[in-house]
Structure 1
């Protein structure tokens, strides 16, 4: 068996000792850790830069769109205001009371032996419409003439307004006479109040109706 001599034994041993030197190992570890920190710093910086770039891009786009959004919001507010105003006007128009038809019916009820001396009318949301007529009735039975006039008003106006009420405010005989058809007849003073509600509110449901509603819905 041939004999092998290791002439580099000392150099190899010294090289291995240098590789196992703790100081060098620490330095290598520190260098590696520093490299990792540098890489992490660079990566974080890149992410921050990218985020800032995106933020600047979004802000730039928003700066372009913001005037349009603001204008659209203002326009929406204007349209909402117009819609509310229109609804209010529609309600006022729908609840407006037309005096001409009822006054025309009153005029048709006035016979030659009835004279209207005063007329007053009022329309209120909570009280309805009220018309007050003052006049003079002439005839052999002036009170009967005034009553016929009241009944005629109730009949004619009641055709369109079933809730109408026509009642005497005053009814009294007068000492004066008037000429009706060439004859002198006695007179009576009357005051008539016409009350009606052209826009009645729907009745509120009673307790029994409120209880019965869920049953109907379930069925």
Structure 2
């Protein structure tokens, strides 16, 4: 086997030592870190520019859409006002009271012995409908004639208004006489008040009663 001699051993060893020099390794590491920082800076800058570009695009689109959005909001407010007004008018229509049928019933109750001299009607939000009838009753017993008139009003109006109240505010005898059917009869002055609520509020639900638990019997 031939013998091989390494005559460049020292030069090779010196070259390896130079390659393993800590200073060079530090320089290489610093250069690599600097390259990474530069790449990171460039990447961050690219992302910032991209974000700004997207923001500008969104702002441009919003500038085009904003007038339409503002107009739509204004239109929505107008429609809401119209709807609110319509609901209010519907409420007025649903809660309006027709006087003609009521006055027809009152006229139906007026007999030849009854004379209405004044009629006054009012609508109060809390109390409902109120009618005041001022008149004169004539007959052998004018007070009974006036009472029959009150009962007839209560019966006729109560068919459609169960909550109606018909009460005398005034009932007094008069010294005058009137001719009824060719006979002179005594008279009485009366004031009748008719009151009812044509649109009563629904009753409030009663609070639920707590059922007491049965106590256990002690043994």
Q: Check whether TM > 0.5.
A: yes
Rounded Cα–Cα distance in structure 2 between residues aligned with 1:171 and 1:22: 128
- So what's the TM-score if we normalise by structure 1? 0.85
Q: Which moved more, 1:69-78 or 1:131-140?
A: 69-78
* Greater helix fraction, Structure 1 or Structure 2: 1
Counterparts of residues 51-200 of structure 1 (less than 5 Å): 51-200=51-200
Rounded Cα–Cα distance in structure 2 between residues aligned with 1:171 and 1:203: 35
Give the drift of 1:10.
5.1
Rounded Cα–Cα distance in structure 2 between residues aligned with 1:206 and 1:45: 70
Give the drift of 1:103.
1.1
- 2:204 counterpart SS class: coil
Rounded Cα–Cα distance in structure 2 between residues aligned with 1:16 and 1:177: 150
Question: Counterpart of 2:217?
Answer: none
Rounded Cα–Cα distance in structure 2 between residues aligned with 1:2 and 1:144: 161
Rounded Cα–Cα distance in structure 1 between residues aligned with 2:34 and 2:168: 110
Question: Counterpart of 2:216?
Answer: none
Aligned length, in residue pairs:
210
Rounded Cα–Cα distance in structure 2 between residues aligned with 1:196 and 1:126: 11
- 2:115 counterpart SS class: strand
Distance 1:206 1:3, change over 3 A: closer
Q: Which moved more, 1:186-195 or 1:4-13?
A: 4-13
Rounded Cα–Cα distance in structure 2 between residues aligned with 1:154 and 1:13: 132
- 1:87 counterpart SS class: helix
Rounded Cα–Cα distance in structure 1 between residues aligned with 2:209 and 2:62: 56
Rounded Cα–Cα distance in structure 2 between residues aligned with 1:206 and 1:15: 104
What root-mean-square deviation, in Å, do the aligned CA atoms of Structure 1 and Structure 2 show? 2.2
Rounded Cα–Cα distance in structure 1 between residues aligned with 2:62 and 2:204: 53
Question: Unpaired segments of 5 or more residues in structure 2?
Answer: 211-219
Rounded Cα–Cα distance in structure 2 between residues aligned with 1:197 and 1:115: 26
